[in-house]
Amino acid sequence: MSFIPTLDIANLIKLFALAITLLYIYHLYYQTKHWPPGPRGLPILGNIFQVPRFSWYTFTNWKVQYGSIISLNIVGQPMIILNTHKVASELLNRRSQIYSDRPRFIMAGEILSGGLNIILLSPTDRWRRMRRAGHEGFKARASEKYRPIQELEATRLVTNLINDPENWSNHFNRSAASSILCSVYGRDPIERKDDYIVEKINTMMDRLVHAAFPGAYLVEIFPRMKHLPLWMAKWKREGQEHFTKDTNMFERFLSDVGERMLTGNCKPCFASSLLDNQSKAKLTNEEASWLAGAIFGAGSETTSSVLHVFLLAMTLYPDVMRTAQTEIDGVVGPDRLPNFGDFDQLPYIQAMVKEVLRWRPVIPLGFPRCAAENDFYEGYHIPRGAIVVPNVWAMNRDPDLYPDYDEFRPGRFLNDSGGINQVFSDLAPLGHVTFGFGKRICSGLNLANQSLFINFACMLWALNIEQAIDNEGKRIVPSRTACIDRGIVAKPAPFVCNITIRSNNAIATVVEQMKADKKA
- The strand pair at 369-370 and 387-390 is best described as antiparallel
pTM of the model: 0.90
Residue 18: inside a domain, yes or no? no
Residue 27: inside a domain, yes or no? no
**pLDDT score recorded for residue 138:** 92
Residue 194: inside a domain, yes or no? yes
Residue 171: inside a domain, yes or no? yes
**pLDDT score recorded for residue 22:** 56
Residue 234: inside a domain, yes or no? yes
Domain limits for position 504: 34-519
Going by the annotation, the residues of the binding site are 442
* Cα distance between residue 122 and residue 127, in whole Å: 7
Residue 198: inside a domain, yes or no? yes
Biggest alpha carbon–alpha carbon distance for the chain = 103
**pLDDT score recorded for residue 286:** 95
**pLDDT score recorded for residue 504:** 84
* Cα distance between residue 131 and residue 140, in whole Å: 15
Cα three-residue angle 424-430-431, rounded to 5 degrees? 55
* Cα distance between residue 292 and residue 280, in whole Å: 17
**pLDDT score recorded for residue 162:** 95
Per-residue pLDDT tens, the chain, 520 aa: give them.
Answer: 444 445 466 666 666 666 565 555 555 555 666 899 999 888 878 888 888 888 999 999 999 999 999 999 987 889 999 999 999 999 999 999 999 999 999 999 999 999 999 999 999 999 999 999 999 999 989 999 999 999 999 999 999 999 999 999 999 999 999 999 999 999 888 876 456 777 887 888 888 888 887 777 888 888 898 898 898 889 999 999 999 999 999 999 999 999 999 998 888 899 999 999 988 999 999 999 999 999 988 888 899 999 999 999 999 999 999 999 999 999 999 999 999 999 999 999 999 999 999 999 999 999 999 999 999 999 999 999 999 999 999 999 999 999 999 999 999 999 989 899 888 888 888 999 999 998 899 989 999 999 999 999 999 999 999 999 998 989 999 999 899 887 788 999 999 999 999 988 888 888 888 777 766 6
Residue 16: inside a domain, yes or no? no
**pLDDT score recorded for residue 285:** 94
The dihedrals phi and psi of 471, each to the nearest 5 degrees, come to -65, -20
Residue 397: inside a domain, yes or no? yes
Q: What is the CATH number of the domain that holds 98?
A: 1.10.630.10
Residue 212 vs residues 113, 352, 380: alpha-carbon distances, Å? 11, 33, 28
Going by the annotation, the residues of the binding site for heme are 442
Alpha helices in 233-317 (DSSP H): 234-263, 270-276, 278-281, 285-316
Domain count, the chain: 1
For 330-393, the DSSP string reads: HHH-SSS---GGGGGG-HHHHHHHHHHHHHS-SS-SPPPEE-SS-EEETTEEE-TT-EEEE-HH
**pLDDT score recorded for residue 312:** 98
Cα three-residue angle 229-234-237, rounded to 5 degrees? 65
